[in-house]
């Protein structure tokens, strides 16, 4: 383990001794939560958490009685969770499409880019990264911010090999008959296993993350402190020298004040584990990482192992001038309380007076037992007192003023307005919205309202993707196998190490437009693509409807572009043959190969000119000699009969048996390099444009 360098120690807390730094961080965390509690931010988080889980009048989902004597009937109707769930679904329903970016644009880097994209998809699918991303978004919607801690776990995965450390080699006194090393007592010395290691994800709530509260932007943070919980007995076994101190630590059950969910009856042996990450700065050139349980129990103190802080944050918005997160769900808390109150008022009235009462004037001789049951023949004395009829009449006390129902509906609309989740998104569209286009437009407007949260979601995925690639580059030194999904859902098992993706420097995310994220919008897109002739079969149509993506219709063009890119590199390099086939997209190849000679410097290379023009001529001859029916099937325009001599048998891409460029129709053989007084090549006849049948440029 690398030792932390204290030689440059100053008054900065992060450069102080381990115990002093841990003590400072303990106080910093206490002040952090006291400050949040003073401003009632923690209370807001707890109220939002309770509302999201339907804990209004009790922890159970049931009708309860309230008031001084139980005269009120409490009925919660949880629009709060319904709206939050719709926000979560709209933001995360479509799996993001990763696009890795490499430092260079050469063919090797492009291949690494495809591998990186496959690895990112592998971690999203097989390693359940998508689950952690959605959980972080859910925290952000309900609690204002969500976090993902992404670290390298060196003891994860399968054992790759064993190593004998130097300290164990000194204890070797001999070997047994199987060549196992033995100590002085004859016991076998077990070598240390080397694991493959892997990336580990952890979701954190705002109660588990502390950082510099004086920063107005979370992107400016120099350090972050996180808290997770682990069984203290596991820690005692791993760090036996600290066992007595670990056993006396407060458990998770004792930290009710610092948790979102509090239950005094919960008992556990988990204790808090704190990790302090400080990025590399001028004051700490190597950064710093500390793992501790309290100020007296520092388990690890070393340099920062990562390029950046491994804690990633998402929030719908920030409280201006502070690093604290804000969500529109906070604004719905009082409205939800009002909705519950009105529903409870109506139910209280109905439950109290819903059973029919009879108003019976005195003196009419009608007794109670005469109106029990049904089909009774009742005689009564028609007393007229003060002009009133003496007939028994129902006493109706269940009428609720219509203003209550109107106001309740208005509150629900206000909640939808403030959250941006309209009635269409909630599956209850207004009667005036009948067409699919109208429904898609209204729903896409709801998605646009959530643009702040969606942008934060995209940035979170991009940061996670870039950080994931960096972790694999830095720590994946042992070969590992991943199931890589390629184009058209083709998948394969591929072995890789961090060196295989060394050219990747960042990851961007494409989530598509808002319209493509709605079912109605995707149907409209598919119908339009049919009219344009882009969709060729039912599989493509349903692919657009289900995903809103067009990859299945662009895979061929992308593969052709990669092929041409690799061929252009080989033409410039001149060390490998470039072969044209009858089923190439010849017109596309010719246009792109021309770009090789668009560079004024490269155009001066006579051999390069010959190679490029010879390969272009090869495509032209294939357009002239290939079966026209085949060309028509692949969308290529056949040319007239070949007026020149065909390529010599056995030659490849315009090269003769010696590997030198062979003259093609309309071309002059290039001079041999190094020949004295070699003349410059004569201007070659331009190749034929297959689209027009005439020379290029005419």
- What pLDDT is stored for residue 518 in this prediction? 57
Mean pLDDT of 542-569: 70
Rg, Å, the chain Cα set: 37
Last residue of a domain, one of 329, 360, 387: 329
* Residue 258 belongs to some domain of the structure: yes
Range of the domain at 32: 13-86+126-329
Q: Which residue has the higher pLDDT, 479 or 241?
A: 241
* Residue 99 belongs to some domain of the structure: no
- Residue 380, pLDDT > 90, answer no
- Residue 440, pLDDT > 70, answer no
Least confident of 241-245, 514-518, 677-681: 677-681
Query: 3-class secondary structure for 438-471?
Result: HHHHHHHHHHHHCHHHHHHHHHHHHHHHHHHHHH
* Residue 106 belongs to some domain of the structure: no
- What pLDDT is stored for residue 556 in this prediction? 65
- What pLDDT is stored for residue 85 in this prediction? 92
- Residue 658, pLDDT > 90, answer no
- Looking at the structure of the chain, the number of domains it has is 2
Last residue of a domain, one of 290, 306, 329: 329
- Residue 526, pLDDT > 80, answer no
**Residue pair 398/349 in contact by the 8 Å Cβ criterion:** yes
* Residue 270 belongs to some domain of the structure: yes
CA angle in degrees (0–180, nearest 5) for 221-224-226: 155
- Residue 426, pLDDT > 70, answer no
- Residue 500, pLDDT > 60, answer yes
Q: Which positions ≥6 away from 556 have C-beta within 8 Å?
A: none
Provide DSSP, 657-695. TTSSBPP-TT--PPPPTT-TTPPPPPPPPPPB-TTTSSB
**Residue pair 51/78 in contact by the 8 Å Cβ criterion:** yes
pTM higher than 0.95: no
* Residue 645 belongs to some domain of the structure: yes
* Residue 680 belongs to some domain of the structure: no
- What pLDDT is stored for residue 265 in this prediction? 65
Task: Answer positive or negative: Cα dihedral of 408, 411, 416, 417.
Answer: positive
Confidence of residue 344 (pLDDT cuts 50, 70, 90): very high
Confidence of residue 186 (pLDDT cuts 50, 70, 90): confident
Confidence of residue 105 (pLDDT cuts 50, 70, 90): low
* Residue 503 belongs to some domain of the structure: no
- What pLDDT is stored for residue 331 in this prediction? 94
Helix (H, G, I), strand (E, B) or coil at 415: helix
Q: Which residue has the higher pLDDT, 692 or 292?
A: 292
**Beta bridge pairs of residue 290:** 276, 301
Structure tokens at 190: 């077990």
Look over the chain and give the mean of its residue pLDDT values, rounded to a whole number: 79
Last residue of a domain, one of 329, 347, 367: 329
Residue-wise pLDDT tens digits, 50-61: 999 998 988 778
CA 285, CA 392: separation in Å to the nearest integer? Answer: 93
CA 237, CA 346: separation in Å to the nearest integer? Answer: 60
* Residue 339 belongs to some domain of the structure: no
Least confident of 100-104, 275-279, 332-336, 659-663: 659-663
Count CB atoms within 10 A of the CB of residue 71: 10
- What pLDDT is stored for residue 313 in this prediction? 94
């Amino acid at each position: 383990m690398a030792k932390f360098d204290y030689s440059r120690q100053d008054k900065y807390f992060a450069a102080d001794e381990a115990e002093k730094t841990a003590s400072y961080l303990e106080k910093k965390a206490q002040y952090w939560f006291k400050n949040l509690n003073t401003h009632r931010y923690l209370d807001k988080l707890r109220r939002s958490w309770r509302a999201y889980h339907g804990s209004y009048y009790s922890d159970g989902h049931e009708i309860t009685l309230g008031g001084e004597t139980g005269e009120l009937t409490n009925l919660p109707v949880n629009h709060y969770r319904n709206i939050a769930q719709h926000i979560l679904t709209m933001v995360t329903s479509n799996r993001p499409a990763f696009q890795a970016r490499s430092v260079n644009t050469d063919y090797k880097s492009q291949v690494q880019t495809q591998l990186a994209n496959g690895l990112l998809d592998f971690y999203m699918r097989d390693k359940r990264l998508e689950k952690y991303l959605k959980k972080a978004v859910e925290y952000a919607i309900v609690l204002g911010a969500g976090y993902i801690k992404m670290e390298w776990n060196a003891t994860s995965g399968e054992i790759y090999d064993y190593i004998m450390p130097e300290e164990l080699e000194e204890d070797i006194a001999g070997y047994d008959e199987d060549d196992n090393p033995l100590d002085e007592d004859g016991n076998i010395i077990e070598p240390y296993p080397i694991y493959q290691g892997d990336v580990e994800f952890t979701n954190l709530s705002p109660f588990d993350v502390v950082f510099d509260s004086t920063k107005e932007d979370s992107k400016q943070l120099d350090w972050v402190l996180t808290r997770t919980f682990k069984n203290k007995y596991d820690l005692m076994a791993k760090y036996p020298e600290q066992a007595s101190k670990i056993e006396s630590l407060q458990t998770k059950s004792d930290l009710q004040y610092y948790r979102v969910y509090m239950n005094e009856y919960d008992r556990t042996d988990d204790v808090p584990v704190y990790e302090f990450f400080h990025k590399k700065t001028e004051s700490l050139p190597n950064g710093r990482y500390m793992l501790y349980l309290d100020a007296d129990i520092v388990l690890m103190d070393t340099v920062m192992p990562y390029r950046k802080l491994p804690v990633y944050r998402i929030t719908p918005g920030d409280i201006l001038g502070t690093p604290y997160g804000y969500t529109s769900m906070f604004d719905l808390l009082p409205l939800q309380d009002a909705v519950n109150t009105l529903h409870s008022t109506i139910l209280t009235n109905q439950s109290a007076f819903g059973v029919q009462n009879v108003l019976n004037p005195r003196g009419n001789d009608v007794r109670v037992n005469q109106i029990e049951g049904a089909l009774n023949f009742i005689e009564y004395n028609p007393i007229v007192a003060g002009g009133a009829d003496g007939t028994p009449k129902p006493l109706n006390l269940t009428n609720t003023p219509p203003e209550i129902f109107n106001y309740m509906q208005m509150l629900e609309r206000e909640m939808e307005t403030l959250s941006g989740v309209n009635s269409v998104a909630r599956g209850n569209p207004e009667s005036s919205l009948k067409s699919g286009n109208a429904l898609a437009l209204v729903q896409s407007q709801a998605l646009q309202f959530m643009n702040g949260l969606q942008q934060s979601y995209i940035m979170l995925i991009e940061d996670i993707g870039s950080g994931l690639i960096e972790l694999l580059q830095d720590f994946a030194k042992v070969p590992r196998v991943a199931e890589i999904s390629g184009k058209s859902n083709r998948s394969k098992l591929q072995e890789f190490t961090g060196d295989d993706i060394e050219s990747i420097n960042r990851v961007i995310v494409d989530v598509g437009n808002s319209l493509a994220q709605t079912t109605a919008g995707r149907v409209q897109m598919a119908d339009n693509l049919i009219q344009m002739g882009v969709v060729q079969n039912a599989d493509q149509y349903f692919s657009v409807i289900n995903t809103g993506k067009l990859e299945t219709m662009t895979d061929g063009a992308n593969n052709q572009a990669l092929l041409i890119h690799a061929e252009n590199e080989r033409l410039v390099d001149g060390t490998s043959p470039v072969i044209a086939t009858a089923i190439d997209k010849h017109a596309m190849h010719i246009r792109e190969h021309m770009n090789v000679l668009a560079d004024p410097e490269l155009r001066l290379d006579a051999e390069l000119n010959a190679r490029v023009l010879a390969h272009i001529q090869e495509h032209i001859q294939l357009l002239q000699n290939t079966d026209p029916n085949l060309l028509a099937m692949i969308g290529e325009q056949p040319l007239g009969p070949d007026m020149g001599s065909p390529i010599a048998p056995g030659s490849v891409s315009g090269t003769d048996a010696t590997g030198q460029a062979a003259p093609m129709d309309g071309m002059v053989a290039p001079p041999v390099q190094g020949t004295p007084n070699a003349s410059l090549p004569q201007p070659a006849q331009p190749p034929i444009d297959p689209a027009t049948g005439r020379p290029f440029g005419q």
